[in-house]
Amino acid sequence: MVTAPLEDILSKYEGRARDALLPVLWDIQTAYGYISPDAARAVSHLLRIPAADIYGVISFYSLFSDQPTGETVIQVCTDPACGLAGSDEILRELCAELSIDPGDMTPDGRWTVRATTCLGLCEHAPAALINRRGSGAFSHAPITHSVDLLNGTEKPHQGILGGQTNIFLSGTDGQRRQTLDEYGDYQGLRHALNSLTPQQVSAEVEASGLVGRGGAGFPTGMKWRFTWQAPFQPHYVVCNADESEPGTFKDRVLMEHRPHLLLEGIALCAYAVGAQQAFIFIRGEYPEAEQCLRDAIREAESAGLIGDRVMETDFSLHIEIRRGAGAYICGEETALFEAIEGKRGFPRIKPPFPTTHGVFHKPTSINNVETLCAAPGIVLHGAEWFRPWGTIKSVGLKLVSVSGHVNRPGVYEIPFGISLRALLETHCRGVRGTLQAVLMGGAAGTFLTPDEIDVPLTYEGLQAIGSTLGSGAVMVFNDTADLRDVLRRLARFFAHESCGKCFPCQLGTQRQMEILERSDHALPGDRDRLSDIGFTMTQASLCGLGQTAAAAVLSALQKWPGLVEA
């Protein structure tokens, strides 16, 4: 057992402030499998945080527990892609083998098995997250047989990559991380530090037409400029690597295969906004991607590409990884800041916006992984390099995550504008079986029918048919999929992930789930109920989670009204 005694863990955090809370709780959770009241009290003294607040944080995040867990904790994803691939069955088998119910620990304390939300390994569905406290192994694997999980013989996953261009994913064979030697010098950063002012870097990115790839599509260069201009100091960069939208796994693939591309992008952003400190906030369910980043940061630091006086200039940059603890809402930018600050992931009211009041209430540029990965090419080759790809309104390249019933699920790099049909039929080698529906944009997206798949994959093209590109998730369902079952899984996801702050979403996600749970035997009026709940969540919720929690359901009801019929 690698159980660092509590004192050793605590001594690492001596003198730290509240933002060390998630890191110290992670260390305790990892060593002991849970966080006891005594341990929490010790943390309360160490970091001078009220004990109640610490309890509030532990009980908010799914990967923290205040009750003992087994030496091995297996979490099986039951969201749509894994559900279609039979994860319920695997969960049942595991629990039967161990004679426990999902969520429970075996009496001998060796195993805990539970269901979990999307693990971002959808191309390998069904997937599980396995944490073996004894050996310290923490991994993320496709499940072929439940016995592999019990024997510890599960295979590591490898990226499945493809597409029409090979810029973001170049130099990777899907097998392993690109090292610094393979990646080469940070040429874009060197060019910026030698010959561009921070404003020129932002201007170049603005001219390229790059917009945020995290879902909201805000112009990236403009965000950098606003942050640079914000009067208060210090400025921060945050890389949003929380990627928890069901069906989305492109950021995981980028981090596992091309971490140096991301680090160079972060460095360029930091230079442009005048920051010396960057955080990468990565979801706790991505152990391999996190390790790849840690190794890459070490390589880059020893090569003088990040750290003090980068490339012997006056520019210094420290990049710190912060691990999330199981909360989709922490992908929402202000909830993410709260998490870094050691709090429950409650979104803040906007305005003020992150460019003036971000992490620690200081000016912050928060950008998605894929967004930042576009920066090195743009800065090195100039804005015009990016523009030939895509359309006037949707510029450049996009990574899409395809899962479900296609012959080759994976991450595909495409120029904006190819049709959904071309993506599925050419790149993904066709739909398995007869196409029934596509969920575009993830759980927060909308359903398309088979006669809508000629839509061009652009922001404007999808918007024109009432859909969205969102985070670039494409979930494909053939006619064997039970769409009621899919809707139930989506509704469970939102009910599980609502932070509970505002009433429309806190109550609406629960009521929406309850109605969909009974959709095989719907009550009279259920469709109206869903429609009122959806309307209210969409219009009156505080943040993007609630505002999109009914999108997929409402689109399904519009296209297939019979899904909820009394």
Partner 1 sequence: MENNTEPVKTITLTIDDLPVTVPEGTTILDAAQTIDHAIPAICYHDATTANGLCRVCVVDVNGGRLLQPACILPCQDGMVVQTRNERVERSRRTILEMLNSAVDLAQAPTVQTLLDDYQIDRGRFPGSERREHVLLDDNPFYVRDYSQCLLCWRCVQVCADDAQYTFALTWGDRGFHTHISTAFQVDMPESSCVFCGQCVGVCPTGALKPKIEFGLEHGWSLEQIRENTRRGRKRKP
Ligand X SMILES: Cc1cc2nc3c(=O)[nH]c(=O)nc-3n(C[C@H](O)[C@H](O)[C@H](O)COP(=O)(O)O)c2cc1C
Q: Applying CB under 6 A, does 331 fall inside the site for ligand X?
A: yes
Q: Applying CB under 6 A, does 142 fall inside the site for ligand SF4?
A: no
Q: Applying CB under 8 A, does 566 fall inside the site for partner 1?
A: no
Residue 191 CA: distances (Å) to CA of 16, 198, 223, 346: 36, 12, 21, 40
Q: Applying CB under 6 A, does 235 fall inside the site for ligand SF4?
A: no
Helices of type H across 303-427: 333-340, 369-381, 420-422
Q: Applying CB under 6 A, does 500 fall inside the site for ligand X?
A: no
Which CB atom, from 244 or from 403, has the smaller least distance to ligand X? 244
Give the pairing of strands 435-440 and 473-478: antiparallel
Q: Applying CB under 6 A, does 541 fall inside the site for ligand SF4?
A: yes
Contacted by 533, from partner 1, ligand X, ligand SF4, none: CB < 5 to 8 Å by type:
partner 1
Helix count and strand count (H, E) for the chain? 23, 14
**CA diameter of the chain:** 71
> Can you tell me which of 71, 123, 242, 290 binds ligand X, judged by CB under 6 A?
242
CA gap 221, 404 in Å, rounded:
35
Amino acid (one-letter) located at 529: R
CA gap 304, 300 in Å, rounded:
6
Which CB atom, from 299 or from 332, has the smaller least distance to ligand SF4? 332
Residue 455 beta carbon to partner 1: minimum distance, rounded to whole angstroms: 22
DSSP per-residue letters across 178-217: PPHHHH---HHHHHHHHH--HHHHHHHHHHHT-B-SSSS-
Q: Where does this chain touch partner 1 (CB under 8 A) — which range of 54-62, 146-154, 173-181, 247-255?
A: 54-62
Binding mask 334-363 for partner 1 (x = CB under 8 A): ----------x----x--------------
Name the one residue in this structure whose structure tokens are 């790099």. 413
> Can you tell me which of 33, 331, 445, 546 binds ligand SF4, judged by CB under 6 A?
546
Q: Where does this chain touch ligand SF4 (CB under 6 A) — which range of 109-117, 209-217, 502-510, 519-527?
A: 502-510
CA gap 547, 531 in Å, rounded:
14
- Picking from 326, 360, 328, the residue whose alpha carbon sits closest to that of residue 342 is 360
CA gap 411, 442 in Å, rounded:
14
CA gap 484, 133 in Å, rounded:
38
Residue 44 beta carbon to partner 1: minimum distance, rounded to whole angstroms: 8
> Can you tell me which of 163, 215, 324, 461 binds ligand X, judged by CB under 6 A?
215
Q: Applying CB under 8 A, does 508 fall inside the site for partner 1?
A: yes
Q: Look up residue 452 and give its two tokens.
A: 């809508």
- Picking from 259, 271, 279, the residue whose alpha carbon sits closest to that of residue 190 is 271
> Can you tell me which of 72, 368, 403, 519 binds ligand X, judged by CB under 6 A?
368
CA gap 273, 201 in Å, rounded:
9
Q: Applying CB under 6 A, does 502 fall inside the site for ligand SF4?
A: yes
The footprint of ligand SF4 (CB under 6 A) covers: 329, 347, 498-502, 505-506, 541-543, 545-546
The footprint of partner 1 (CB under 8 A) covers: 37, 40, 50-56, 59-60, 66, 327, 344, 349, 495-504, 506-511, 514, 518, 523, 529, 532-533, 535-536, 539-542, 547
The footprint of ligand X (CB under 6 A) covers: 212-216, 218, 240, 242-245, 329, 331-333, 366-368, 371, 543-545
